[in-house]
Amino acid sequence: MRLASTLKMVSLSSDPAIFNDGEVYFNTVAKTVRLASNGAWINMINTTNLETSFLREVSSITDGGSYMIVSSEQNSILLVDSASATTIIIPNNSTEEIEVGSSIKVARVGSGTVEFTEEAGVTLRTADSNYLTARWTTVELIKIATDEWLLDGEYPDIY
């Protein structure tokens, strides 16, 4: 790929007919960032879901007991701020459709333990434990296949 010595960024509603290698533009209709290279356009970023790709919503679980993850929480942060034990249920794809590749960061900020369990048909992969027993620790749930999740992060005070 040959790039021009200068970088030009423009915002357009359609593909320009004439362009130079190395130009980058944002298509305001297709919501894509494209790079001109060797006389053709290369799609670099589809910005339709850009906000959810880079920014994470933060929500809190304040009641103990059972809590099932929902699709709107994909690529978000859950703060578990409960004095009593909380069980976070990872749903199967037929219950709650969450995209493969999505992740959910879970932080224990309350005094109650946090346990992760899976709904029937879900496989949860973890190296150590499915508990967060220490306050101010985090793990990340990563959906690696349709009904398969990876639990990755800190595991202090493992049972």
Give pLDDT, residue 10: 58
How confident is the prediction along the chain (159 residues), in pLDDT tens digits per residue?
444 444 455 566 666 777 777 777 777 676 677 777 777 777 666 555 555 445 567 788 888 899 999 998 888 899 999 999 999 999 999 999 998 988 999 999 999 999 999 999 999 998 877 888 789 888 999 999 999 999 988 655 544
Other Cβ atoms within 10 Å of 149 Cβ, number: 25
Give pLDDT, residue 156: 53
> Phi and psi for 109 in degrees, rounded to 5?
-115, -15
Give pLDDT, residue 130: 83
The whole-model pTM stands at 0.64
Give pLDDT, residue 1: 43
